[in-house]
Amino acid sequence: MDKTTRRSIDVVLADAQARLRRLSAVDALAAVFEGWTLVEWRVDPASERHSAEFTGREDRLSLICRDGYSSSLAAVRLHELGFTETTDVIGGFGAWLAAGLPVER
């Protein structure tokens, strides 16, 4: 790929986020109470790195990362794998903390 065909991360991220029904931190917490699972990556059951605790829960996932960038890109990749209900948290864990939502250590 030469420089003329490269896309900036801002463009890639905007494209990814436009494909998702994204959640605010408060909405993500509400989704958890409705049976959604708040997770990081490792969802695909066909992967050798699959986290077994997600088995059977792959269709109601809200991804979270530190700032909301990686989770948007990961959620779109999950869409491409067929997990089309997957979304992410706008602003990531930083937004979660800023909203004063609960954290377990």
Q: How far apart are CA 82 and CA 58, in angstroms?
A: 10
Residues 40-78 have pLDDT tens digits of 866 667 777 777 777 788 788 899 988 988 899 999 988
Q: Does residue 88 have a pLDDT over 90? A: yes
Q: How far apart are CA 15 and CA 38, in angstroms?
A: 22
Domain boundaries defined on the chain: 21-98
Please say whether the beta carbons of 73 and 16 come within 8 A: yes
CATH superfamily of 21-98: Rhodanese-like domain (3.40.250.10)
Provide the pLDDT for residue 91: 95
